[in-house]
Homo-oligomer: A and B are copies of this chain.
């Protein structure tokens, strides 16, 4: 019941997965590196909003950026991020399945 610090850091990194836009970005970047403008075109919304989400993801260590002329290219820091994300999607899908089943049985 000591050193909760690791749980705080761990939760903080996981928080990066807890927003629809950020999930969409991770999904896209699973295919490789993309420029800011391409990501924005893909997700829609305001550039300032996207910029903030991306830099939060970089700060938490799940994305990296590099400059290429006047563009910025974003990528996942590791395939592990994509894998973790995919696992959670599978958990979601089976939960939805179970709910559907439960609904069918009560009718």
Contact = CB atoms under 8 A, between A and B. Distances in A.
Given A1-B42, A87-B83, A91-B62, A17 B20 contact: no
A78 interface: yes
Given A20-B7, A23-B10, A98-B61, A80 B87 contact: yes
Interface in A1-47: 1, 4, 7-15, 17-24, 27, 42-44
Contacts of A11: 17-20, 22-23
Most buried by B among A1, A62, A91, A96: A91
B18 A91 contact: no
Contacts of A21: 7
